[in-house]
Structure 1
Amino acid sequence: MATSENQYEIQKSEQEWKEALTPEQYRVLRKHGTERAGTSPLDKVYSEGTYFCAGCGQPLFSSDTKFNSGTGWPSFYQPLEDAVGTTVDRSLFMTRTEVHCDRCGGHLGHVFNDGPKPTGQRYCMNGVSLKFVPEESAS
């Protein structure tokens, strides 16, 4: 069973979420949707920086852990510490591990055990649920 919404630091009504997010962000982050593979420009971004939750701005992943999984979604082998939570997802006639933002509960994607070393995990994220902020270059 999914974690209760009232356990998250960021609390908004459905209407507030609809006003704060694009329709696609709302569908993925709040309704557990999935964007089509290959549609996110973030899949091919390999610049140094940080990936934040598009719903609440919490830092989620470092570019240091991003890799090309070939799946068509941005993939990472490890989240930042205390950034994400997981729940069991039994939709689509299978059991998967859903990944959500630990601050607002937004649906980010799923984690699988077929990733690279050192963790062996593949955090397969919806790009629409992320916001990438590149590192500023030293002047």
Structure 2
Amino acid sequence: MKPSGCPYALNMITTFYGFSIMPLSRRHYLWAMCGFSLFVFGQHKAGKSKRMYSGAEDINKIQYSDDVWRSMLDHDAYQILRKGHTEPRHSSALTNEWRAGKYYCKGCDLVLFDASMKFDSLSGWPSFNRHIIGHLQTYTDLSAVPPQRAYRCVRCGGHHGHLIMDGPLPTGERWCSNGAALRFVPS
């Protein structure tokens, strides 16, 4: 027997997980979905008002076919730089790298960060409070809900991580990077 009120799938889910909610009428269900959609849209628009970084115009861009990228990069670097994946927390040796040096993009060897810009965010990923100006470009990552601000290398367009506004002063920025997409060169 098909229950009335809220859509059948939602009633099945609530019954399967063993909790009971008051059945929603179709009107309440539609209002809830409209509210959720407005929330997601509002989060997306709020991200648009934040400072966006664009790359320097004088950097020569490189473009390769997917097969060339696959042969140039190891599996993890390819998945992060070209497919936008994220490495597991605490999986990178660069998270605990504190020597002086520079961090380069593994896809094109463009310097992105200096070791003096790094800080311990306790997040499990290498984090920086600044970047080399003009070498990174921010964009809105629509694959997450709510959408997030992500950043990529200007030269090769490889995804490196997300820009989160919970870093130290004065910028408040945390450039949360995937260590598998970076190459560290000590000075």
TM-score by length of 1: 0.90
- Taking the aligned partners of 2:102 and 2:146, their CA distance within structure 1 comes to 31
Aligned to 2:148: 96
Question: Could you say which residue in structure 1 is the equivalent of 2:118?
Answer: 66
Partner of residue 128 from structure 2, selected from 76, 98, 110: 76
One-letter code of the match for 1:80?
I
Q: 1:55-87 CA distances to partner (integer Å, 9 max, x unpaired)? A: 000000011110000000000001101110010
Corresponding residue for residue 42 of structure 1: 94
Taking the aligned partners of 1:56 and 1:30, their CA distance within structure 2 comes to 12
Query: Which runs of 5 or more residues in structure 2 are unaligned?
Result: 1-59
Instruction: Give 1:92 deviation, angstroms.
Output: 2.5
* Runs ≥4 residues deviating over 2 A: none
Name which structure has the greater RCO, CA cutoff 8 Å, separation 6+. Answer: 1
Shift of 1:30: 0.1
How far off its partner does 1:94 sit? 1.4
Q: Which has the higher strand share?
A: 1
Q: CA RMSD in A?
A: 0.9
More helix by share: 2
- 1:23 maps to 75
Alignment size in residue pairs:
128
Query: In 1, distance between residues paired with 2:109 and 2:125?
Result: 20
Letter of the 1:29 partner, please give it: L
Residue 91 of structure 1 and its aligned partner are, at CA, apart by 1.5
Question: What fraction of aligned residue pairs are identical, expressed as a percent?
Answer: 41
Unaligned runs of 5+ in 1: 1-7
The residue that corresponds to 2:18 in the other structure is none
TM-score (norm 2): 0.67
Residue 62 of structure 2 aligns with which residue? 10
| Displacement of 1:40 | 0.2
Cα distance, 1:118 vs structure 2: 2.1
